[in-house]
């Protein structure tokens, strides 16, 4: 384990040094990983509030409302949807890099154990936020995520009846499902925010805001990406068919192909 940590430290130093020389302390993202995580969270939260105002929770209206938001007001809703998506992906990247850096420098024991444990608790909250967000779009990818997630949960001896029954056909699905998803997609980020606040309580000088230069450059990067490659829906979900091929979001859905291959219990 010590050898792995030494190797990681060597790699991190080789990556950080050029950034430090090029951008200085105020522009070096590796020196502000935690603050960048907070910054991406606030972008996701602010854009999510706007998107929620236009989203419907009906079985057929859910997809239509997202499409109308994306195309009818692309200058606002479409851009904010893309910002919402890419900032969420960036949050996962920052989380992994931040955890790897803390692990490499052995900041997980002594006075730092509290931050390490609460940081680990953040991981499932972040993924729960992303997965429930995909369900609300209710396109082909959302259908796949919903069916695979319920198969995964059915592998655990928790529920009296299989959850997959809700996705046997279109007749079994009701608007209450999307109302539940909307509630979870709002409640989970609130729990995430609470845990993030707890996470920094033992830090004497916790940084929750990146430098203005880094924040502006990062936001500009996300905005340009949103304009050049907007986030779009796939065709609407149809429980009577099985999608043959799907482009996945590998930031939030890396475990789903493994569930298909090895089953929910093994994963």
User: Whole-angstrom Cα distance, residue 224 to residue 79?
Assistant: 10
Please report, for residues 97, 98, 117, 250, the alpha-carbon distance to residue 92 in angstroms, rounded to integers and kept in the order given: 9, 10, 17, 10
Transcribe 154-168 into DSSP letters.
Answer: HTSTT-SS-GGGGGS
Q: How far apart are alpha carbons 156 and 154 in whole angstroms?
A: 5
Q: In Å, how far from its chain's centre is CA 201?
A: 23
Return the pLDDT at 59.
77
Q: Identify the DSSP state of 112.
A: G
Task: Say if pTM beats, i.e. exceeds, 0.85.
Answer: yes
Which H or E run contains 86?
Answer: helix 79-104
Q: Along the 267 residues of the chain, how does pLDDT read in single tens digits?
A: 888 889 998 999 899 989 888 888 889 999 899 999 999 999 999 999 999 999 888 777 889 999 999 999 888 999 999 999 999 999 999 999 999 999 999 988 888 899 999 999 999 999 999 999 998 899 999 999 988 998 888 888 777 777 777 777 777 777 777 788 889 999 999 999 999 999 998 877 788 899 999 999 999 999 999 999 999 999 998 888 888 788 899 999 999 999 989 988 888
Q: Using only C-alpha atoms, what is the Rg of the chain?
A: 20
Where in the chain are the domains? 2-10+33-204+211-227
Query: Inter-axis angle of helices 175-199 and 33-54, to 10 degrees?
Result: 160
- Do residues 202 and 111 make contact, with C-beta atoms less than 8 angstroms apart? yes
The reported pLDDT for the residue numbered 245 is 84
Q: What does CATH list as the number for 2-10+33-204+211-227? A: 1.20.810.10
DSSP assigned state of 253 = -
HSE (side-chain half, CA atoms, 13 Å) at 211: 13
Contact 139, 234 (CB under 8 A): yes
pLDDT for residue 230: 94
The pLDDT of residue 112 is 87
Distance of alpha carbon 42 from alpha carbon 38, whole angstroms: 6
What are φ and ψ of residue 240, in 5° steps?
-80, -10
């Amino acid at each position: 384990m010590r050898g792995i940590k030494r190797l990681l430290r060597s790699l991190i130093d080789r990556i950080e040094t050029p950034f430090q020389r090029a951008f200085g302390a105020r522009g070096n993202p590796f020196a502000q990983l935690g603050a960048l995580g907070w910054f991406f969270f606030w972008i996701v939260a602010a854009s999510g509030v706007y998107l929620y105002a236009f989203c419907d929770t009906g079985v057929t209206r859910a997809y239509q409302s997202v499409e109308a938001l994306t195309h009818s007001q692309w200058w606002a809703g479409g851009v904010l949807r893309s910002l919402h998506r890419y900032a969420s992906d960036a949050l996962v990247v920052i989380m992994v890099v931040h955890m790897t850096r803390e692990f490499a420098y052995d900041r997980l024991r002594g006075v730092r154990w509290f931050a390490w444990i609460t940081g680990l608790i953040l991981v499932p909250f972040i993924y729960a936020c992303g997965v429930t967000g995909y369900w609300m779009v209710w396109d082909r990818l959302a259908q796949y995520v919903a069916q695979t997630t319920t198969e995964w949960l059915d592998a655990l001896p928790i529920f009296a009846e299989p959850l997959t029954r809700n996705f046997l056909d279109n007749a079994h699905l009701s608007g209450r499902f999307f109302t539940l998803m909307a509630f979870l997609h709002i409640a989970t980020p609130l729990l995430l925010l609470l845990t993030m606040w707890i996470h920094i309580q033992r830090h004497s000088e916790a940084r929750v805001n990146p430098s203005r230069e880094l924040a502006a450059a990062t936001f500009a990067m996300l905005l340009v990406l949103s304009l050049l490659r907007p986030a779009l829906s796939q065709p609407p979900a149809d429980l009577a068919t099985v999608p043959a091929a799907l482009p996945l979001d590998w930031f939030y859905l890396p475990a789903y192909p493994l569930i298909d291959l090895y089953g929910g219990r093994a994963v």
